Amino acid sequence: MEEGGKATYSEVVRQIELWDKWGQKELIDVIKYAHEMGIYQWYGEKPKLQPTWRNLIRVFLTAEGQFSDNETMRHYQKTSWRTQSGETCLMELLPLPSPDATSWLYGEISTLPYLKNRETYEKYIVGSRIAHLKDRITHYKPKAVIFYGTSYDNHWKKVVGISSWEKSPEGINYAVNNSTIFIATKL
């Protein structure tokens, strides 16, 4: 849905400065980013498994026929998860970080009218982000796309181009479009 974290004014400024320094790339290597930002809990010698990523990593490793025990997931998170040389990409529907779906820092620090509040921001940005995600999926043709967060389910369906999900015997929402399987989950 969106990047979590502290999302304080100083954190956001540091993120923008780093993004600018790296040439304003669409995607970044998250391990390199974490080290630049001084975030070591997910990438240190014995990193903690990040709660959201843990489930995504488990799905990825299982789909690849690999073990998905804690040590294997920890190693993958530390060395390959969301890296430029890795096999995974994580793109958020909403590009600005926020600690949760109710917090909104940007109205206090920006004069941009669409950042006044979360509702205005979402109305302004969601359509173009859906179009961008659809474009990226069409261009790169990933084997699988996993959406997480049921409160954004209508947006996920628009990315896929469907009105409703198929349901597996196990109760998992999915769709297949142009050889990509799309899965929507709570995670």
Chain segment 43-98, per-residue pLDDT in tens: 888 899 999 899 999 999 999 999 999 999 999 999 999 888 889 999 999 999 89
Torsion over CA: 134, 136, 126, 171 (sign): positive
Report the pLDDT value the prediction gives residue 44, as an integer from 0 to 100: 80
CA–CA dist 93, 153 (Å, integer): 11
CA–CA dist 52, 56 (Å, integer): 7
Chain segment 103-145, per-residue pLDDT in tens: 899 999 999 999 999 999 999 999 999 999 999 999 999 999 9
Token couple for 181: 């399987």
**Global pTM value:** 0.89
